[in-house]
Amino acid sequence: MPDATPLPTAATSFPSKKYWGLLLVLWGWLAGGAVAQPASSTQVPTLVQVGTLPDRGYSWEQIRTDTTLAFAPADSLRPAQARRYWLQLALRNPSAYTQTTELTVLPNLDNTFYYFDEDAHAWRTRRAGVVVPTDSQRVKGGFLLHLPGRRTTTVYVRLDLGQQAHLPAAVRLRVLLKPLAEVQQANEFLSTAWAVSLAVLGLLLLTNVPTYVRYRDRPTLYYICLQVGAVLYATAYRNYFRLLWPAPSFSRLLLPTGYSYAYTINNIFMHLSVVLMLLGFVQMTRAYLATAAHLPRLDAAMRRALGGYVAFTVVVAAVNLSGFLLNYYTIRFDNALVFGLLGMLLLITVVAYQRQLPLARTYLLANVLPLLCVMSVAAYHVAMGFGNDRLQVLPDVAIVAHALFFSAALSVRLQLAQRTLLATEREAAALALDIRQQELRHREIVLKNSHIQTALLAMRQRQQAHDEQAQQLSHDHQQQQAANLDLQQQLEANQRELASTTLYVQQKNALLADLRQQLSQLRTQGSASGPPQELAGVQSLLQSSLYLDEDWGKFKLHFEQVHPRFFEDLQANYPTLTKHEQRLYSYFHINLSTKEIAALLNIDPASVRRAKTRLYKKIAAAEAAGRPGSAPEESAAAG
């Protein structure tokens, strides 16, 4: 079975319409061929019976003529019993016509087929297998057998499991029959796909080799290296190197499933092609985007990753050449490394686009389709391991896509270089023209100087007007400051008046307190003879307190001069407050203490605190009911 090493991805610039058309035509043709299936028929040859016999040194004549040798039915072979087996196959052709079918027996390391040739009326032999040096088929192990119509044909097969020290305890025995039409259709499709891929790659190489010879462009050189690797990969992936060099087999492996693998020259070319493509792809990315200058850390990581993969490939190839087939066990890891390297290249391209490096957008767009195709090939082999029979189209599409896109990318880059050169020549011509224009500019400068002088005169006039306007504004500002000073003096006078009014009210309340004290003493000293003489003093005190309400009105007048609209806003926000509560609230607003308020209202401080609690509860209830007002901030400090 062929090695399943993936090819590296490729990044190209956005291709032109002719490249898109060619790619779409190729994709449609390959996809159509991939899904085409041979017409099914109920008259296909079938396997009737399989018999096995461990080989004890029997000759072909003994197998053919000795009836005492019994072939026993079996579905697996035991290498511990024998390293060689004889098989007796009974094949039935239900059709009335002779049919040709491809017969493959697994395990297929080294099989010798014995069949009867109807044309020559003689027995023939044919040796086939993955380690047979004379088997030069693309897929080793099978041969074409003609089965006469409506007859059962007996075929003998001698299986050689080899002399390896380590073989599975049991190897599954399988007989595969494939009609000739199906084999031919598959071979023609793969051959045509390979020829188309190589034709596209060859045309692009013929285009880019002269370009490199002419311009010595490094990305073009790495692109050529990548294309050579792609040619080798397309050939090795289809096992066409086996047609040229069927031998030697450096190492072999037999699995319990019956499949056999060998490391041959075809596998060497496969590894070499992947290394060449990854080398060309990485170096072209570095040269195209100048990552060493713009992205030094990512550039170093990319170079280390490439070096690591090359070292890994060399070690695996050396072990395979030494006689142990390591390739089977490392194929998934190999493809995982390729997948990771491709992901790193995509990341670098995206970062270059984000940093707006030259041509990064074109390079990113060109990377999308080829990268997806090639990463799909790598992911397929990471999941499936050996064997690529189910993956017929994608490698060819990936190769052609990356070839077209890379070619377009190089074309865009060269066109940019040509435009840059042309721009340089134009700059030189523009410089000469600029020198001639300097004289004209000198004349223009003289004219501009005269215009500038005129403009300066106009600016001076505007500056004078601006200065006069600034003086007027300064005078208005001084008047405003004088008016503010008058208002400030009036405010201070009102505050002094308010303070004197508050002091006066306190004195009045002090008189009322003396009156209550005297009345209390009279009640304790009173007698039946009548009121004492001190009642005259009480009447005098009462007479002096008749004007308390007038004092509150005077206080309120001065208070509103200092705090305009205070009582109107309080009434609007809290309409449920009484006049006594409004009066109490105003005292809280000017930050009077509890003792001072008690003296003004002729009540004890405890009553003030209780009144304050009731007042705030009523305010809180009004706010909870949706009233817009709120208590002043100063009220919290009044207690």
- If you write DSSP's letter for every residue of 173-196 in order, what string do you get? -EEEEEEHHHHHHHHHHHHHHHHH
Per-residue pLDDT averaged across 322-334, rounded?
89
Per-residue pLDDT tens digits for 232-266? 988 998 888 988 888 888 998 889 988 888 999 99
Q: How confident is the model at residue 127 (pLDDT cuts 50, 70, 90)?
A: very high
Query: Which residue from 72, 161, 61, 67 is spatially nearest to 114, judged by alpha carbons?
Result: 61
Per-residue pLDDT tens digits for 477-516? 888 888 888 877 777 766 666 666 666 666 676 777 677 7
Output the six-digit token pair for 130.
């993955």
Residue 452 CB coordination number (10 Å): 12
What one-character DSSP code corresponds to residue 636?
A: G
- Lowest mean pLDDT of 313-327, 409-423, 448-462, name the range: 409-423
Output the six-digit token pair for 552.
């509150």
What one-character DSSP code corresponds to residue 73?
A: P
Per-residue pLDDT tens digits for 513-569? 677 777 777 767 665 455 555 555 665 555 555 445 566 777 777 788 788 888 888
Q: Are 179 and 86 in contact (CB under 8 A)?
A: no
* Peptide bond preceding 532 in cis form (omega within 30 of 0): no
Q: Are 577 and 627 in contact (CB under 8 A)?
A: no
The mean of the pLDDT values for the chain is: 80
Tell me: pLDDT of 39 over 70: no
Q: Which residues contact 454 (CB under 8 A, 6 or more apart)?
A: none
Measured at the CA of 556, the angle between CA 555 and CA 559, to 5 degrees, comes to: 85
Tell me: pLDDT of 425 over 70: yes
The distance from CA 416 to its chain's CA centroid, rounded to whole angstroms, is 30
Query: Which residue from 24, 354, 318, 323 is spatially nearest to 200, judged by alpha carbons?
Result: 24
Output the six-digit token pair for 321.
């050449």
Q: How far is CA 266 from CA 415, 543, 550, in A?
A: 39, 132, 121
Coil, strand or helix at 172: strand
Element (H, E) at 339: helix 327-354
Per-residue pLDDT tens digits for 1-15? 334 333 333 333 344
Tell me: pLDDT of 196 over 80: yes
Q: What is the 3-state secondary structure (H, E, C) of 519-531?
A: HHHHHHHCECCEC
Per-residue pLDDT averaged across 602-628, rounded?
81
In the block, tokens 């499949």 appear at 259
Identify the burial level of 28 via C-beta atoms within 10 angstroms of its C-beta, where 0-12 means exposed, 13-18 middle and 19 or more buried: exposed
- Of residues 389 and 383, the one with the higher pLDDT is 383
The DSSP annotation for 234-262 comes to: HHHHTTTHHHH------EEEE-TTS-EEE
| Predicted pLDDT at 630 | 47
In the block, tokens 């002094």 appear at 496
Q: Are 254 and 107 in contact (CB under 8 A)?
A: yes
Q: Which residues contact 382 (CB under 8 A, 6 or more apart)?
A: 332, 335, 336, 339
* Peptide bond preceding 107 in cis form (omega within 30 of 0): yes
Counting residues of the chain whose pLDDT is more than 90, the rounded percentage is 24
- Of residues 110 and 541, the one with the higher pLDDT is 110
Per-residue pLDDT tens digits for 337-357? 999 998 899 899 999 999 988
β 99-106/174-179 pair status: antiparallel
Separation CA 411–CA 522 (nearest Å): 124
Separation CA 428–CA 140 (nearest Å): 67
Q: How confident is the model at residue 314 (pLDDT cuts 50, 70, 90)?
A: very high
Query: Which residue from 122, 126, 124, 113 is spatially nearest to 158, judged by alpha carbons?
Result: 113
Instruction: Identify the bridge partners of residue 143 per DSSP, sorted by sequence position.
Output: 103
Separation CA 463–CA 146 (nearest Å): 114
| Predicted pLDDT at 360 | 84
Q: How confident is the model at residue 110 (pLDDT cuts 50, 70, 90)?
A: very high
Output the six-digit token pair for 368.
């999308």
In the block, tokens 């020198």 appear at 435
Coil, strand or helix at 100: strand
Kindly calculate the radius of gyration of the chain based on its CA atoms and give it in whole angstroms. 54
Output the six-digit token pair for 327.
């390739």
Instruction: Identify the bridge partners of residue 527 per DSSP, sorted by sequence position.
Output: 530
Coil, strand or helix at 12: coil
| Predicted pLDDT at 200 | 83
What is the C-alpha end-to-end distance of the chain, expressed in Å? 99
| Predicted pLDDT at 340 | 92
Element (H, E) at 200: helix 180-215
- Lowest mean pLDDT of 91-100, 310-319, 413-422, 577-586, name the range: 413-422
Per-residue pLDDT tens digits for 66-93? 889 999 999 999 998 999 999 999 999 9
- Of residues 146 and 488, the one with the higher pLDDT is 146
| Predicted pLDDT at 409 | 64
Q: Which residues contact 567 (CB under 8 A, 6 or more apart)?
A: 556, 560, 582, 586
Output the six-digit token pair for 471.
């003086």
Q: How far is CA 159 from CA 24, 155, 264, 414, 429, in A?
A: 47, 13, 21, 60, 82
Element (H, E) at 144: strand 142-147
| Predicted pLDDT at 301 | 94
